[in-house]
A and B are shown apart, each in its own frame.
Chain A
Amino acid sequence: GAVVSQHPSWVICKSGTSVKIECRSLDFQATTMFWYRQFPKQSLMLMATSNEGSKATYEQGVEKDKFLINHASLTLSTLTVTSAHPEDSSFYICSVGGEETQYFGPGTRLLVL
């Protein structure tokens, strides 16, 4: 299966600042990656689909200007949380569509103070 990494694994930032999270597909060239968000004790919610070389597509209710996604290569997608606020504190997880199924990264814990 695909091996997926994320960086950083956790980040603490001040309210109003921007945070960039990287998702890398280490052994698979991914034209599509997905970004999910997970609040404590809850399930994963799909935020957006990251498409290599084109614009991301966002799920209903997800602000595209707040959650900027860039998929500049077949192995890297980035999610930037702009002007972060405490309510953006969450666990952000990316996934890669491998040859047969979806594989997930280890997640990034974001805490906005």
Chain B
Amino acid sequence: GESVGLHLPTLSVQEGDNSIINCAYSNSASDYFIWYKQESGKGPQFIIDIRSNMDKRQGQRVTVLLNKTVKHLSLQIAATQPGDSAVYFCAETGYDSWGKLQFGAGTQVVVTP
């Protein structure tokens, strides 16, 4: 069941610095991973994805790194801006459960001026 009073991990970043958000996953069968950004009161917004046959993928100001050996995923945001303040979730799915996303706990990113 859900926990009451759970607090999200928070990453405080100064504007202009780079952010690194980490995510550990547990399902070895997962082969598709997605990073979402969620602003308060809104639905998750797609940022970037990566498949298990890759270890790095770059987008606009964002880079996702995948380490399958240790089941670790990271999102790097370059030159963090105030508009990047949000909760970031990693999500995973696999061929055996395609489309059913398993979400990580989330990280609250706070950008300070």
Is A93 interfacial (CB 8 A cutoff)? yes
Nearest-neighbour CB distance to chain B for A78, whole angstroms, equals 17
Q: How far is the CA of A109 from the CA of B42 in the complex (A)?
A: 10
Q: Does B113 touch A at the CB level, under 8 Å?
A: no
Complex Cα–Cα for A95 and B45 (A)? 11
**Is A80 interfacial (CB-CB < 8 Å)?**
no
The interface size bin for chain B is: 20 to 34
Secondary structure of the B contact surface, majority rule:
loop
Q: Which of B7, B46, B100 contacts A101 (CB 8 A)?
A: B46
User: With A and B bound together, what is the CA distance between A68 and B22 in angstroms?
Assistant: 36
Q: For B42, B43, B101, B103, which residue has the most chain A Cβ atoms within 10 angstroms?
A: B43
Closest Cβ neighbor of B49 among chain A residues: A101
A106 near B2 with CB under 8 A, answer: no
- A102 and B34 in contact (CB under 8 A), knowing A41-B6, A107-B43? yes
Interface residue ranges of B56-113 to A (CB < 8 Å): 89, 91, 98-106
B99 touches which of A45, A102, A105 (Cβ 8 Å): A102
With both beta carbons as reference points, the residue of chain B lying nearest to A57 in the complex is identified as B100
Tell yes or no: A44 within 8 A of B by CB: yes
Q: Mark A1-42, 1 if CB is under 8 A from B, else 0.
A: 100101000000000000000000000000010100001011
Contact partners of A61 in chain B: CB under 8 A: 1
In the complex the two chains form, is B34's CB within 8 Å of A45's CB?
A: no
Question: Once the chains bind, are B99 and A103 in contact (CB under 8 Å)?
Answer: no
A49 touching B99, Cβ below 8 Å: yes
Which B residues from 12 to 69 make CB contacts under 8 A with A?
34, 36, 41-46, 49
The 7 A-B residue pairs with the shortest CB-CB distance in the complex, in nearest-first order: A104-B43, A43-B103, A107-B43, A104-B44, A44-B103, A97-B99, A106-B43
- Chain B interfacial positions (CB closer than 8 Å to A): 1-3, 6-8, 34, 36, 41-46, 49, 89, 91, 98-106
